[in-house]
Amino acid sequence: MPQFPRCSAPYRTQNIKLLHSLKKYRIGIVGATGAVGQEIISLLEKREFPVSEARLLASSRSSGREIKACGNLEKVRETTRDAFKDLDLAIFSSGSKISLEFADVARKQGCVVIDNSSAFRMDPQVPLVLPEVNSDAVEAHKGILANPNCSTAITLMGLYPLHKRFGLKRVIASTYQSVSGAGASGITALQNELSKEFSESSNEQPTQESPFPHPIAYNLIPHIDDFREDGYSKEEMKLRNESRKILNLPKLQVSCTCVRVPVNRAHSISVNAEFNSPVNVPDARNALSEFPGIELWDIPNAGRYPMPLDYAEKEACGVGRLRVDHALPNGLAFWVVGDQLWKGAALNAIQIAEALIERKCLRFIE
């Protein structure tokens, strides 16, 4: 009888409960009416984050709406240059354009910014933080911190404990990214197409409202973000460049293919990794099962492996299908699944805020 896989607890800063009892914070949520913004509100409550004020910010179209947040009914305000006054921190989830327009404005008013967009990720002056991996990076912030891309965050949750044990050399990955990664319109597009009973042989084109270049129902689309001249998409390059920065491995070899799949929520990644040291499955299992925020769910013959349905709205990421790679020297192959709205965005941002509080570096000096 195989042993039931061990599941490590989700990552939490060690002293956050004590810190919560000492002080509360004024927090702004930019993009509060969007998919990630709504998850941020929910997770702030779920994790009992110490909020004295939740200031909900969005576009002028949403201004005046009332949303329950952190125990109060709050009115949504328009995101303006004056909207950040007296805030301790703000989580931005409205895309790069809004972040580039307002993040530095907020920072100059003493408000620490945690940004979910790609605007600052590769800026050498901005820490790119996955708290389970490099929480110490928050100490170097100058008022702005960046959240990794969703597929990068989920991939590294599975890779990093193996890197610590064996020393990472090369990564080949294929992502299977859910439609909610394209926002609420992605889910709507899939639901609309399914309701029209698309068939696998359908030549129908997606509606104008769809964020996808082809029908997504009954289909897979190897196209996420714009393509570069070398044939790779910007999404694929995010996994390479961001992994190098977070792991502090500037020459890490990474090849990635990103695919949109007809799944509502949670991204899945197939990873083949080569390491510097000889590998074996028992040591790899131990490394994964002991890592915070990871569930080792790996008894394939019993049908136990991570799937998106099981990891939607779950803090931990699941790793399974762990095996020695037959093509790479010192190689391991595995499958990792995580909720991209949580670990890939909202949850990770809140964990960064918790790390700032625990390390007593929420404030900064110009």
What whole-number distance in Å separates Cα of residue 40 and Cα of residue 352?
A: 12
Strands across the sheet containing 89-92: 77-78, 51-58, 25-30, 89-92, 112-115, 144-146
Annotated catalytic residue 267 = yes
**What is the torsional sign of CA 132, 137, 143, 147?**
negative
Residue for token pair 């964990």: 351
Please check whether residue 353 is in contact with residue 29, taking contact to mean a CB–CB distance below 8 angstroms: no
C-alpha 346: how far from its chain's center? Answer: 7
Residues whose CB is less than 8 angstroms from the CB of residue 100 and which lie 6 or more positions away in sequence, other chains included: 119
Residue for token pair 């909207």: 83
Furthest-apart CA atoms within the chain: distance in Å: 62
Q: How far apart are the first and last CA of the chain?
A: 60
Please check whether residue 111 is in contact with residue 92, taking contact to mean a CB–CB distance below 8 angstroms: no
Annotated catalytic residue 150 = yes
C-alpha 238: how far from its chain's center? Answer: 12
Catalytic residue among 163, 256, 267, 317: 267
Query: CA nearest 318: which of 260, 274, 262, 269?
Result: 269
Q: Quickly count: other Cβ atoms within 10 Å of residue 32's Cβ.
A: 27
Residue for token pair 């790899």: 284
Catalytic residue among 111, 150, 258, 317: 150
Residues whose CB is less than 8 angstroms from the CB of residue 92 and which lie 6 or more positions away in sequence, other chains included: 30, 31, 98, 99, 102, 103, 113, 114, 115, 116, 117
Catalytic residues: 150, 267
